[in-house]
Amino acid sequence: MRFNKKKFIYLISPLKINKIFYYHLPIVLDQKKVSFFQLRLKKENFKKKLTIGRKIKKICKKFNVKFLVNDDVYLAKKLNADGCHLGQKDMNIFEARRIIGKKIIGITCHNSIKLAKVAIKSKADYLAFGAFNKSKTKKIKYRASINLLKKARKITKSPIVAIGGINSNNYKKLLLNKANFLAISGYIWNNKKLNPREAIKKLK
């Protein structure tokens, strides 16, 4: 999996997608800092996710951004997405591979090197660690540290995605400590001070 250093953002959708989102998404992607976009909708039904996913996929394609689906391998297949992100409680990676083939599959490893080793062994395309900071997007069960990033980097060349409460004040530290991508959601979509374009511009 090749990656561009300038495109270090792994953008996650807001929990609720409204009309204004479709206005902001192209503006955000046009900043050329996003490598991946992950569709993460916990409360919508399959049909609604399909409709939303098709629209977003078109926008991602236009800006050369990989379109991934969170948790749902069948949705990823139906949308012919670029890949899928799997949590520890989701389908196992071998089953997911059987369904979506050679697409990108990333694995949540929380704050565990043990889980990372399992993911590496099962040929995950990237490993996601977190949360590195407090986050309003989801409840935090696991806290990850810079030290964990360093340990992970010693055991794998696979891309590492850092997750959790990442914003313009704390993002550089993660990049300097060898995180390849930063998963960001709330800072872009629910920022009380900045609109999505202003928010992404601060991540240089």
Q: Which domains does the chain have, with CATH numbers?
A: 9-201 (3.20.20.70)
Give yes or no for a contact between 23 and 47, defined as CB atoms under 8 angstroms apart.
no
pLDDT tens track, the chain, 204 positions: 555 678 999 999 999 999 999 999 999 999 999 999 999 998 999 999 999 999 999 999 999 999 999 999 999 999 999 999 999 999 999 999 999 999 999 999 999 999 999 999 999 999 999 999 987 767 778 899 999 999 999 999 999 999 999 999 999 999 999 899 999 999 999 999 999 999 999 999
Write down the H helix ranges in the chain.
19-29, 46-62, 73-79, 93-100, 113-121, 146-155, 171-176, 186-189, 196-201
Residue with tokens 């540290």: 145
Determine if the pTM surpasses 0.85: yes
Give yes or no for a contact between 14 and 185, defined as CB atoms under 8 angstroms apart.
yes
Residue 42 CB neighbours (<10 A) = 9
